[in-house]
Amino acid sequence: MSVAPPVVTAAELGVDDEERPARTLSGFPARLVGIVALAVALLSIWQVFRPLAQGSQYYLVVFLGIALPLVYLSYRSWWGRLDRADAPSVLDWVLAAIALVVCLYPILPVTFGDAGGGYNAFLDRQGMLAPLDVAMGGLLLVLVLEACRRTTGVILPIVCLVFLAYGYYGGLLPQNWAIAHAGLDIDQIVDALYNSGSGFYGTPLDVAASYIVLFTLYGAVLEFSGAARFFVDLSVSLFRRSHSAAGRTAVASGFLLGTVSGSGTATAVSTGAVTWPILKRAGYRPEQAGGMLAAAGVGAILSPPTLGVAAFIVAEYLDVSYVTVLGWALIPTLLYYLGILLSVEIDARRIHAEGRAPADLADGPLPTPWWKLLGRFGYHFSSLVVIVVLLLAGVSATRAVVYATALALILAVPDRMLRAREANGAASSTGETSTDGPLTDGKSASGTLSGDASTGHPSKGDASSSAMAAQPSTPTGLWTRKTLLRFAFEALRALSLGMRSALPVVAVCAAAGVITAMTTKTGLGAQLASLLVRAGSVLSDDPAVVLATTALLAAIALSLLGLAVPVTASFVIGWVIIGPALLDLHVAAPAAAMFVFYFSVLSEVTPPTALAAVGAAAVTGAKAMPTMWSALRYALPAFLVPLMFVLTDSGQHLLGRGALLDVLWVTAAACVGVAALAAATGGWILGIGAVGAVPRMLAGAAGLTLLYPHPTATAIGLGVLVVAAAAGVVERVRHRKATGTP
């Protein structure tokens, strides 16, 4: 029997890339929130096939009007006696009611003097808001910032307040300053936020309501279908005999499970719960294992077919299809995982050489062979394949993911039947009788789990594959009316939980509208972009040097920005400020957007606030800061490869743009560069062994040179790498002679 992980989701962890702990509701509040969340989920699906006649902004008004009150009921305020951990307080109910009225005010067909009058009347007052409009818009601003504080912390609301202060007080700045402007009054600010397409109802919220929610629902249903269990079982089975099996299993599990989770932190914790015992036995230290888990988890949300949240905004900003963005991400994904896997191989050899691992890693019971797992549960890959095929066929991303969600829901039926048959067989062989219903998660001979049967989400406990499977008391394959109704209820509950897990992203995207509106209204983006380019030209007037310096400064700025705000907000801010700077230096828009995207996501492994590393450290029992530095070592290529996008025109070939031969030679050079960097950071050259400082420095220099996509730089990098290998061989020969070893 294979060993399955406790599949932990962002919603259950309470903390992911963009989330603070949510309440554990019960009773009437739980039922109300569950029903309303399900209604929002169904509305988002309905909008795909039968869009509201009044237009997309009308839909966003309705969407935010239902979702924002849910934030106040689902997330704690942390306001001392006014706060409750297990249920909404009176204040939360009041704020939820106010949020409902304020959000839906623009579409209420009721006249209030010179205000109100319905959606069309509200739009007609754009630029000339009535006092009641301004009051309602001001209230919504406060409510959005408070919702953002509850779900992500205080940093993003503070950033929004800084932008608001700049918009209001910008006229008081010295007029010779580049960022000075005429200043905006309250009416203008509220109008930009509340009654335009660049504020609360701008691109970020549009993407959240149209794409992100649907992909989140897909992830929830994919877990409900049993796919998460299968993905990690398969990873454990694939690499069960090699000395690097433990590391490979952790990386493969992170990649596969990340397609379900969509969260770097949740993926790292989920895979760590199962693979940490394997990694520990293989000789990995806690910090080392935690760094690997964090890097693999974050890599999953950089990888097709389900990229991170910001990827949808990339597609929207550049007016391209989502499948185009997936194509841009293919080669960088290969390079990212190549770097991690090479580091894993180096770690395995070093651990083996140091005698920190047992001689035979195949001792003990082996998991189910991978071909048997594929034969039984390989159909779980089909929904992922369907997304890609439909996108390539020209189907919209929204429809493709809805169809894939429906398929995953259907596949939950055979998954339960197959696992029920296995559980019955195991019970029969031990003379035990299963007493659980066919759609519940109970106990098995190989482990225990206290889980949520409605979604396949376990609680915090040990797990096994059979424990997470159905345990029928009826003959295998017999589905009664009662079990069918229960299955339907659980499926709907999975959709509801999926919507609830998307609430933090909705709050962040609404708050991001504050930043985009103020940047657009004041012209701040263009001014800051100009300052960044000027800073890049301090060292030299040479265009290549200016571009390289600007790109480096932009990378640092994005990394620091990602420490303070969630990924989505980091991308939005980075694109409106740093994007124009790169475009002014004639960097192609796709390269500039993917540069900003990657550095926004990589804040998950950037000290000192690398959330994925913190989560992995909690699993392995490691110290947080050393785990962050370990994660940074594994993810190093991910920080350097995006620079290739923008340094030369050839860098765009890594996005799959250009002639095939050009794409191939740039990709090959980048692969060798990543291998050189892995050797430099790991202190080990594959085929040679452990090396000292000189070969490591030479390998590092070769790697950096090879990551500059130019034929001359490639030739120099290859030459330096050959010298590094030769130096390593000389070192090894001298060491053997000195120690007398053969």
Query: Structure tokens of 232?
Result: 């990690």
Do residues 420 and 471 lie in contact, with contact meaning Cβ atoms separated by under 8 Å?
Answer: yes
Q: Please give the Cα distance from 633 to 362 (Å, whole number).
A: 28
9-32 in b/e burial notation, b at 16+ Cβ within 10 A? Answer: bbbbbebbbbbbebbebeeebbee
pLDDT value for 93: 95
pLDDT value for 79: 86
Do residues 464 and 422 lie in contact, with contact meaning Cβ atoms separated by under 8 Å?
Answer: no
End-to-end CA separation in angstroms for the chain: 44
For residue 211, the 8-state DSSP code is I
Do residues 306 and 324 lie in contact, with contact meaning Cβ atoms separated by under 8 Å?
Answer: no
CA-nearest of 9, 3, 5 to 615 is: 9
Burial of 359 (0-12, 13-18, 19+ CB in 10 A): exposed
pLDDT value for 458: 33
Tens of pLDDT along 619-655? 888 887 788 888 888 888 778 888 888 888 888 899 9
Q: Where are the alpha helices (DSSP H) in 181-308?
A: 186-194, 203-207, 213-224, 227-238, 245-261, 264-281, 286-300
For residue 75, the 8-state DSSP code is B
pLDDT value for 555: 85
Burial of 374 (0-12, 13-18, 19+ CB in 10 A): middle
All structural domains of the chain with their residue ranges: 19-156, 206-356+368-422+490-497, 659-741
Tens of pLDDT along 365-408? 566 777 788 887 888 888 888 888 888 888 888 898 899 899 98
Tens of pLDDT along 580-591? 888 888 899 999
CA 603 to chain centre: 11
The pTM (predicted TM-score) of the whole model is 0.74
pLDDT value for 68: 95
Measured CA to CA in angstroms, residue 674 lies from 27, 649, 695, 704, 728 at distances of 54, 20, 16, 9, 18
CA-nearest of 189, 212, 193 to 202 is: 193
Query: Structure tokens of 316?
Result: 């929207």
Q: How many CB atoms lie within 10 A of CB 526?
A: 17
Instruction: Spell out, as residue ranges, where the chain has pLDDT lower than 70.
Output: 1-21, 240-243, 258-264, 306, 308-309, 355-367, 419-420, 422-479, 562-565, 608-611, 740-742
Tens of pLDDT along 301-360? 777 776 766 788 888 888 888 888 888 988 888 888 888 888 888 888 887 777 665 555
